[in-house]
Amino acid sequence: MKKQLPNMLFAGGMLLVILSALAHKTAFAPYVLSAGALTLVVFHYITATAGSLRRYFLPVLFFAAAAYFMFKGQNSWILMLFIAAILEVYYAFRK
């Protein structure tokens, strides 16, 4: 179970982010995005090695910015979410 926890956190966090993007017109979408971003912060903190925590700060910062812009009602959250997703994919395949 302990080895599955990071995988469940990542999958759950990304699922919350995707759900909030799909339901962006609803009132609860910013809260779901914030919960997903917080889950991803916990995931990156748990799985971080000695020097890798700094590089995962940037995607998390963009997820937080997306949540902020979604709370404000601006469409900039789409760009922030796109940049965060690109960075997550880049860091996933980077060794």
How many distinct structural domains can be found in the chain?
1
For 21-70, how does the pLDDT look when each residue is reduced to its tens digit (9 = 90+)? 999 889 999 999 999 999 988 888 888 776 666 777 888 899 999 999 99
pTM equals 0.84
Asked if pLDDT for residue 81 goes beyond 90, the answer is yes
How far apart CA 19 and CA 32 sit, in angstroms, is 8
How far apart CA 77 and CA 8 sit, in angstroms, is 25
Q: Which domain holds residue 35?
A: 4-93
| DSSP string for 13-57 | HHHHHHHHHHTTTSTTHHHHHHHHHHHHHHHHHHH--TTTTTTTH
At residue 71, the pLDDT reads 92
Tell me the average pLDDT across 18-23: 92
